Structure 1
Amino acid sequence: MTVSVQKVSASKVTISELMLPSHSNFSGKIHGGYILMLMDQIAFACASKYSGCYCVTASVDTVDFLNPIEIGELVTMKASVNYVGSSSMVVGIRVTSQNIQTGKVKHCNSSYFTMVAKDENGNNVKVPTLILSNLEEVRRFYNSVRRIALKKERNMHEETFDHTTPEALEGLNLYNVKLDL
């Protein structure tokens, strides 16, 4: 039996992992790809917990790496469903790292994963209605609505913009680029 409504709190997931030398890149910092893999895992866990279904990643909004993560730091990721559509969910993820010797905590990044609930045949499944229980959840919901609208507008502009017009080609003069067509 599927649940028709769920509170945001039913989706919350937190994971922590100690960063090891095997997770580092060539500069000795934790590899961004490794952090993205962990973010994808927590987004899956959060969306699946909320929907009760297998979920797939449909898209990832901007990921800005704000602060580097060092070997030996404890990385903590917190995720919750911020928005639901018919079969999709926007999962907000906050990543922090803590120097376990000094206790200093850094915000490393925040990102938004769009996850889609699927059945065993790969068909989209309706997800429960989201119950917003406080103003912070309302803020996160509206921020998701705004990001979705901006994304749709950007996609529409990309589809209709004709980059071959003389005006578009002349507009390239504003950038550090040279045409050699």
Structure 2
Amino acid sequence: MNNSNTVSASKITLSELMLPSHSNFSGKIHGGYLLSLMDQIAFACASKYCGSYCVTASVDTVNFLNPVEIGELVTLKASVNYVGTSSMVVGIRVTSQNIQTGKVKHTNSSYFTMVAKNEKGKNVQVPKLILSNLDEVRRFYESVNRISQKKQSLQDEITLDYSSPEALENLQNYNIILNLNK
């Protein structure tokens, strides 16, 4: 394993023509199929970067911005944006292109956290990330911020007393009916 590697060394592009077999009941490409492609490219990107088998540890928010139509060419681009000790954050951008008109639309983006493993399933150290331009620095810091926000959110969940009078009173601000069996 190398002690360091560049973001460029991790870059992967995957393109696939969307077929009727990939569609849902409304005739659009099924979101689950796109997620499967995203997971594949995240695996390939992370494994290429570190030279080890990788598993998906988490997927950050995936917002489906535009539907993908049957017959469009979907292109996924992925690169490692951040590395920890054994984990990597892979950024993925998905676009679709109408091959008849040439119109390209951004369909979704997401961040997959991948963990490098050895043959026995134990975490292994990943190479240091060489940042070569300010765009890579920006993506690295954005990943640091998302990780920090996620940790803070988990801490907030742990410390919130859901049964406190204040927490129960606060539920009046939401579209619910509180009907606790006491």
How do 1:99-178 and structure 2 match up within 5 A?
99-178=98-177
Match of 2:95 in 1: 96
**TM-score scaled by length of structure 2:** 0.98
- Runs of 4 or more consecutive aligned structure 1 residues displaced over 2 Å after TM superposition: none
For the residue of structure 2 that corresponds to 1:38, the secondary structure is: helix
Give the gaps of 5 or more residues in structure 1: none
CA-based RMSD: 0.4
1:174 to partner: Cα distance: 0.6
Partner of 1:59: 58
Helix, strand or coil: the match of 1:68? coil
Query: Percent same amino acid at aligned positions?
Result: 76
Q: Distance in 2 between matches of 1:91 and 1:66?
A: 19
TM-score for both structures, normalised by structure 1: 0.99
Q: Which residue of 2 aligns with 1:43?
A: 42
Residue 87 of structure 1 aligns with an amino acid whose one-letter code is: S
Secondary structure of the structure 1 residue equivalent to 2:36: helix
In structure 2, the residue corresponding to 1:101 is in which secondary structure?
Answer: coil
The letter for the 1-side match of 2:52 is C
Return the alpha-carbon distance in structure 1 between the equivalents of residues 138 and 41 of structure 2.
Answer: 22
Q: 1:126: Cα distance to partner?
A: 0.2
Distance of 1:134 and 1:171 partners within structure 2:
46
